[in-house]
Amino acid sequence: MRLRKLVKYGIFVLILVIGFCFTAIARGYEIPPPNQQVAIAQQTSDLMLNTLFAALTQEFDETTAQNVEQGKQSISLIFNDQNKDMRLVGTVGPLRENDRPRDNFEFQANALAMAGQAYTSVQKVDNQWYYRRSIPLSNFRAECALCHVNFPAGPTADPVGALMLRVPIKK
């Protein structure tokens, strides 16, 4: 009788251990990347932001009322819809449908951007970890109103959306 009780107890403990092992293995695939790798992705994101801001500033410096259509096309080519790693996102029209927030991060980031706040997160998207960030945008240059005819003459502090950046985190 005692042996039977001991065997049942052993089987119960074995099932618990196996269950915990499978749970740990399943959760192991969701372990976020180490802080060092996140820091490297953040530094890459900083470099990317500086590069994009320099390109946008150059574009603004060269866009005039005479070449505004070329300026719009140039910006659209830089922020190509096929590039998921950098996007201009907003809800202030006029917008193309693909310039609206697409996922939970972008919805939250855009809402915060409209209050002037940046947002960052480390997220797994399609089995790849990313450092994601948003930078709030305002009507910060007079040239903004050349392309966005609904904007008041700038510069103003009016929030208009966010620049979304996404950098893959390498393990």
- Please give the pLDDT value at position 9: 72
- Please give the pLDDT value at position 171: 78
Q: What is the DSSP string of 41-63?
A: HHHHHHHHHHHHHHHHHHHHHH-
Return all residues near 171 (Cβ < 8 A) that are at least 6 apart: 33, 34, 37, 129
Stated length of the chain: 171
- Please give the pLDDT value at position 86: 93
Task: Give the pair of three-digit tokens for residue 167.
Answer: 């950098």
Its pTM stands at: 0.76
d(CA 160, CA 53): 16
- Please give the pLDDT value at position 42: 97
- Please give the pLDDT value at position 141: 78
- Please give the pLDDT value at position 94: 63
Fold of the domain spanning 34-168: Beta-Lactamase (3.30.450)
Q: Look at residues 38, 55, 54, 50 and name the one whose alpha carbon lies nearest to residue 132.
A: 38
- Please give the pLDDT value at position 132: 97
- Please give the pLDDT value at position 56: 87
Q: Where are the beta strands (DSSP E) in 38-158?
A: 86-89, 119-125, 128-138
- Please give the pLDDT value at position 1: 66
Residues of the chain with pLDDT under 50: none
- Please give the pLDDT value at position 117: 96
